[in-house]
Amino acid sequence: MKPSIMLLVLLTGAAALMLEGTYGAGNWQFWAVLFGLMLTGGCANGLNQYFEREIDKQMGRTKNRRPLAIGAMKPKAALYFVVACGVHGGAAVRSVL
């Protein structure tokens, strides 16, 4: 799910929420939105890796680093995982609305 990228997304998301002012950092809704952002963003990154797994096997930068490219995870399991992340992330954000 590309943790280093997700860290940047969460930092910018937290900054945006603080600047916008509806949800303060001590508010449970603030954390629910960030949790949902993390899961839905991770879902998008995971889907990218799922759909590009054959290309990732050929690219020098990704062939030895991505779980699907090196065979550490089965494609079906990865797809189930990222879809579950997306559904739960959407539910987390929906709980705030």
Residue-wise pLDDT for 56-85, tens only, equals 999 999 999 999 999 999 999 999 999 999
**In the Cβ-directed half-sphere of 14, how many Cα atoms lie within 13 Å?**
14
The domain total for the chain is 1
| Residue at 1: amino acid letter | M
Residue 70 amino acid letter: I
Rounded to 10 deg, the angle between the 28-51 and 3-20 helix axes is 150
Query: Which two structure tokens, joined as six digits, stand for 4?
Result: 């280093």
| Rounded Cα–Cα distance for residues 37 and 74 (Å) | 25
Q: Per-residue pLDDT tens for 2-27?
A: 889 999 999 999 999 999 988 877 78
Residues 6+ apart with CB under 8 A from 68: 49, 50, 53, 56, 75, 78
Please tell me the predicted confidence (pLDDT) of residue 97: 82
Domain enclosing residue 33, as ranges: 3-94
